[in-house]
Amino acid sequence: MVAEEPVRSSRGFADLFDLTGYTALVTGAARGLGRAIATALADAGAQIAALDVIDMSELESDISEAGGKCVSRTADLGGLSADSANDLVRWAEDATSNPATVLVNNAGVIRRGPALNTSVEDWNTVLAVNLTAPFLLSQAFAQYLRAKDSAGSIINMASVNSFQGGVEVPSYAASKHGILGVTRALANEWAPHGIRVNTIAPGYMSTDLTTAHRNDAERAAFMLKRIPMARWGTPEDLAGAAIFLASDASRYVTGTTISVDGGWLAR
Ligand SMILES: NC(=O)c1ccc[n+]([C@@H]2O[C@H](COP(=O)([O-])OP(=O)(O)OC[C@H]3O[C@@H](n4cnc5c(N)ncnc54)[C@H](O)[C@@H]3O)[C@@H](O)[C@H]2O)c1
């Protein structure tokens, strides 16, 4: 990824989105949105270094059957230290034999319940996985890129709860408002180094994270009525935004959010 190079018309528009030669470190890649993002980036040519606390063998075999390359490592990002973040970033290069230029901070958790009863344990868990781990991984990744004098792209996972308080998800809303602020702060600070930092803000997507939500018939019906596109999102709906933000197609885009929410925030 060379941030300053002019776009040559002979490359054609598709080449703008070509990730051949890239390695992307994707957290929470075993299932849901992270799995779809890892698959999309691999489809666009990137090698994937996948992290999750659970097994990722299905993701690995899907990507390799499609002709791509994916390596995986299990890690609990809830208790991440600066040293272990450094170790994970270096592992992405060692395991793929290719420098990493994309980091997707996707892993996330939610704890539902009224603020009056939110335990400090739940609060700390959500903040650790959704906010502290992305910061530490971004910091380690930027240090790694700086040492190589290399450009890179960081994609953080925001949410409609980065802009709205949500219903009985106080720690989640805090973490998602926080990731928006961190994204803007890092984008400002690292733009001179060619390191872009953006967020994708998914709306209400069909994944394990929202099962409880979708199983509550009354709530689900209310949500569907409020979504202008009148359907839940699918993990694959994020493919275009992820490839765009990872690739040279977004070379002048930093510190911003792409909402992929069927119009939810516009309502
Ligand atoms: N599904 C939605 O509607 C929605 C909407 C907005 C934002 N998001 C965000 O998108 C991201 C992915 O959500 P999802 O819906 O795919 O959720 P999911 O629960 O289906 O998947 C989350 C993944 O993160 C992994 N993970 C959780 N804790 C971890 C830890 N401590 N260490 C390492 N990995 C861990 C899980 O094992 C899982 O594979 C999250 O950041 C979430 O907040 C989701």
% of residues, the chain, pLDDT over 70: 96
- Alpha carbon nearest to ligand 1 atom 19, residue: 209
- For the CA of 29, the closest atom of ligand 1 is 39
Mutate to test the pocket of ligand 1, among 58, 209, 259 (most ligand atoms within 8 A of CB): 209
pLDDT in tens, 28-42: 999 999 999 999 999
State the sign of the Cα–Cα–Cα–Cα dihedral 34, 36, 37, 42: positive
3-class DSSP state of 45: coil
The answer to whether the predicted template modeling score (pTM) of the entire model surpasses 0.85 is yes
Known catalytic residues are 172
- How far is it, in rounded angstroms, from Cα 38 to Cα 100? 14
Tens of pLDDT along 112-134? 999 999 999 999 999 999 999 99
Hey, what are 138's tokens?
């971004």
- What pLDDT, in 10s, does the model give residues 72-89? 999 999 999 999 999 999
Atom of ligand 1 at shortest distance to CA of 130? 41
CA 5 to ligand 1 center in whole angstroms: 35
Going from the Cα of 176 to the center of ligand 1, the distance in angstroms, rounded, reads 12
DSSP 158: -
**CA angle, corner 161, sides to 190 and 55, nearest 5?**
75
Secondary structure (DSSP) of 195-262: EEEEEEEE-SB-SGGGHHHHHSHHHHHHHHHHSTT-S-B-GGGGHHHHHHHHSGGGTT--S-EEEEST
Ligand 1 centroid distance, CA of 259 (Å): 17
Please, what is the Cα angle at 129 between 127 and 130, to 5 degrees? 65
pLDDT over 60 (residue 7) = no
Answer yes or no: is the C-beta of 99 below 6 A from any ligand 1 atom: no
